[in-house]
Structure 1
Amino acid sequence: MSSQLSSLEVNPVDYTNELKKPLPKSVYQQIELDLPRTFPGNPIFESPAGTRAMREVLHVCALQNPTIGYCQSMSFVVAVLLLLYPKAHVVNILNILIRDIVPGYWTHTMTGLQADIKVIEFLISKNLTDLYQHFKDLRIDVGTISTAWLLTLFSTTFPICTTLRLWDYLFAYGSSAIIKIVFCIFKLYKPKLLQLSDLIEVTSFLNERFKVFNNWDDLISELNGCNIPDERITQLQKNATIEIEKRTKERQLGSLKNTKFTLEELHELYQHFSTHPKSSGGTLPTSELFNVLLHSPIASEKWNEWSEQGKKALEKIFDENSDGTISFKEFCVSLAVYSRGSREEKMKFSFQVYDMDKSGSIEKDEMLHYLMNHYKCSGLEEEKTKAQNITDIIFSKYDENQDGKLLCL
């Protein structure tokens, strides 16, 4: 692997400390589901030590990249890296991939992946016109063929010796390299691909060639002879990203028409949400929710005066799928109910806020805590003394079995 990776500095203390922190529930569950699916049958990764190493690396990486958490296919990349480097070192390499070499691949929207596929299709259409037309006639989508190659960085495509040589090229030349690799693969096999008649034949042919890949000299010759400038590829990536982000925005805004926000307000919220410094791949870490709400162009509540317990309760409601991040859709849906929902919607929302321990019931201390916090945030300091009386009245009236708990009907 490239010499730049050998000089990476790692901090084992930070690695150990990160392992002690819990993962969001859905992230943990997805990692556990994927561990046995990663190179099944390989004794190294199926062993307790191998599985534990993958789990630890993915755990730390998820915490260090909260807007990503975990994305399927990352485990394959981690597994191969663990054959070469210590665990803490692998985390650093994975961070380089996520932030510099293949940004936007393992995010919720996969904007980077979509952009690169679009660039590959464009380059084939301009430089391998006969193959492009052949695929078009057969209704074969380049993305359908190459998505798995890209997401796993070829680790499930080629023998490991070839994968490592491709990674050397990738780390040496950066994000444009992965596009050149895929383009040159299609160019290398173009004569045979032109003879095939459907997607099944194409994928079967490529899979068979890749299993026992022995054309490294031919592929590297194609890569070295590729006359598409890196600067050109980088510009194409930027243009494709802008186009995809625009399309993603339109799709997201269109799906939020029923939130009681006007289209103009949704545009304002989208701009506010997407330009936040911690926003990435269409999501924010749940820990940033109150920073976003504090400067929101829509809601005017004194968010900074919420107690820590109240903030945690609200973060859990906004993070509907419990993955440790809040998508723009989750943000708008919850904010709309909180600020503009019907009486019934607000009651259900309030129940979720009251129910801080997510037990499915509200206890007196939970309601009292929320009411006192609400009065403080609303600037009604003089009303805080009524919180205890209101709590007592509500429980006296509705706690029919006198167990100190209220259920949401």
Structure 2
Amino acid sequence: MSSQLSSLEVNPVDYTNELKKPLPKSVYQQIELDLPRTFPGNPIFESPAGTRAMREVLHVCALQNPTIGYCQSMSFVVAVLLLLYPKAHVVNILNILIRDIVPGYWTHTMTGLQADIKVIEFLISKNLTDLYQHFKDLRIDVGTISTAWLLTLFSTTFPICTTLRLWDYLFAYGSSAIIKIVFCIFKLYKPKLLQLSDLIEVTSFLNERFKVFNNWDDLISELNGCNIPDERITQLQKNATIEIEKRTKERQLGSLKNTKFTLEELHELYQHFSTHPKSSGGTLPTSELFNVLLHSPIASEKWNEWSEQGKKALEKIFDENSDGTISFKEFCVSLAVYSRGSREEKMKFSFQVYDMDKSGSIEKDEMLHYLMNHYKCSGLEEEKTKAQNITDIIFSKYDENQDGKLSFKEFSCACEAEPILQHVLGFTNE
């Protein structure tokens, strides 16, 4: 694969420094869960050195691609690449795959994967009509058969020698190549597939053939003889992607009807969120939250004047599943509570923001920090000196057990009675 990769642009990775940075908890946990599942029984990958190498590469790649983090099946691709290249170079190759070869495969929405499956089904319907009709009669979905092939880039499908040959073809010809490969596999085995009577027989037959695959010459002959132009495939991919993105948008907007945003507002927010430069696969890195909020068409505020501590606290709330990214749904749900929630919802939301260390209670320094931040964002710098006095008063009146902390119940009582907290939570605008 060296000659194919040498022609592709590779951005250098500061591998050592990237390894020192922490991963989002859920990303780390998913990687750890998948490592022992990656080619189980293979002594190379089960060895401490092999496992450590995979862990490191996936760690760095997750940091390099924060909107993806980690997606199941990436570990198989990494494992095979580690047989050929140093770890830092494997990260570079994975970045090329994510950016140029199979974009949208390993994202939350898997738009690229869905689009390619749609294109494969279309090409089979137009060029292998008898097989398409046979599958249709048997209610066999091409995507059900081929999803694992695509997600692992055939690494769990074929012997490694065949996988590497297919990767040569993939890197040489780009994103349209993977569609041609799958199409030609179906074409190669069409005579036998037409004799099978259900999905179990089809998958069993293909799996048995792939385990001891020795038809490389026949497959490469099919690939070389495939008369479907790359430009045609590329256009079909674009059309399918547009259709899937439209369907995804409709589904997401439909699931947010209870957020108190109008449909028009949701459309505005979706446009704003999805066109952000760092948006990918329906998500944004948590670090981009305030950049999005700053120019949001809804809930305008002096977001850029929030303290770093306050920003981090808000990022954790918006990132509900702690994966280091914020989906459009997470964004809208949290923004709706912040800007239009009920009194109870706003109190719960604010309690989470104040509780910066996630201890389940609000301490004095957390209350003080947030009040000072409020004065700053409200353009009342001269009032910041009052924050300490107000904090002392609130704790003296509502910290019932005098432990220097406010429980949610104590905080709620303070919010219902104290004008400053009512103003911060927006109760005065009700």
TM-score strictly above 0.5: yes
Q: CA deviation at 1:10?
A: 7.4
Distance (Å, rounded) in 1 between the aligned partners of 2:72 and 2:327: 18
CA distance in 2, matches of 1:8, 1:226: 25
Q: CA deviation at 1:399?
A: 1.3
Describe the superposition over 1:356-385 as per-residue Cα deviations: whole angstroms up to 9, x where unpaired. Answer: 011111100001101110121122334323
Q: Is the 8 A contact 1:10 1:88 kept in 2?
A: no
Secondary structure in 1 matching 2:91: helix
Q: Summarize the Cα distance change of 1:96–1:324 in structure 2 as closer, same or farther, 3 Å threshold.
A: same
Q: 1:300 Cα shift?
A: 1.1
CA distance in 2, matches of 1:141, 1:346: 46
How far does the alpha carbon of each residue in 1:56-76 deviate from its partner, in whole angstroms, 9 at most, with x for none? 000000000000000000000
TM-score scaled by length of structure 1 = 0.97
Tell me how far apart the structure 1 counterparts of residues 189 and 303 of structure 2 sit (CA, whole Å).
Answer: 59
C-alpha offsets along residues 25-78 of structure 1, whole Å, 9 cap, x if unaligned? 100000000000000000000000000000000000000000000000000000
Cα pair 1:11 1:88 within 8 Å, conserved: no
Which region of structure 1 is more displaced relative to structure 2, 76-85 or 359-368?
A: 359-368
Distance of 1:107 and 1:297 partners within structure 2 = 26
Contact 2:289 2:315 in 1 (8 A): yes
Q: How many residues align?
A: 406
Q: CA offsets per residue over residues 97-142 of structure 1, 9 Å max, x none?
A: 0000000000000000000000000000000000000000111000
Unaligned 5+ segments in structure 1 are none
| Uncovered stretches (5+) of structure 2, i.e. residues with no partner | 407-430
Partner of 1:258: 258
- Which residue number in structure 1 is paired with residue 418 of structure 2? none
**Residues 7, 16 of structure 1: CA spacing in aligned structure 2 closer, same or farther, 3 A cutoff?**
farther
Aligned to 1:280: 280
Q: Is the 8 A contact 1:2 1:172 kept in 2?
A: no
Q: CA deviation at 1:4?
A: 3.4
How far apart, in 1, do the equivalents of 2:275 and 2:13 lie? 33
Residue-by-residue CA offset, 1:286-317 (whole Å, 9 max, x unaligned): 00000000000001110000011111111111
Residue 10 of structure 1 contacts residue 89 of structure 1 at CA under 8 Å; is this kept in 2? no
Task: Indicate the larger mover: 346-355 or 4-13.
Answer: 4-13
Aligned counterparts of 2:11 and 2:274: Cα–Cα separation in 1: 31
CA offset at residue 275 of structure 1? 0.3
CA distance in 2, matches of 1:204, 1:2: 34
Aligned partner of 1:269 in structure 2 is 269
Rate the CA distance shift 1:13–1:166 in 2: closer, same or farther, 3 A: closer
Tell me, yes or no, if structure 1 residue 63 matches structure 2 residue 63.
yes
1:321 is displaced (CA, Å) by 0.5
Q: Distance in 2 between matches of 1:2 and 1:122?
A: 33
Give the superposed CA RMSD: 1.3
CA contact (8 A) 2:4 2:168 kept: no
SS of alignment partner, residue 12 of structure 1 = coil
Name which of structure 1's ranges 5-14 and 93-102 shifts more when overlaid on structure 2: 5-14
Query: Counterparts of 1:141-152 in structure 2 under 5 Å?
Result: 141-152=141-152
- Does the aligned pair in 2 maintain the 1:2–1:171 contact within 8 Å? no
**Cα distance in 1 for residues equivalent to 2:34 and 2:198:** 31
Q: Supply the distance in 1 between the matched residues of 2:232 and 2:39 (Cα, whole angstroms).
A: 36
Distance 2:6 2:156 in 1: 24
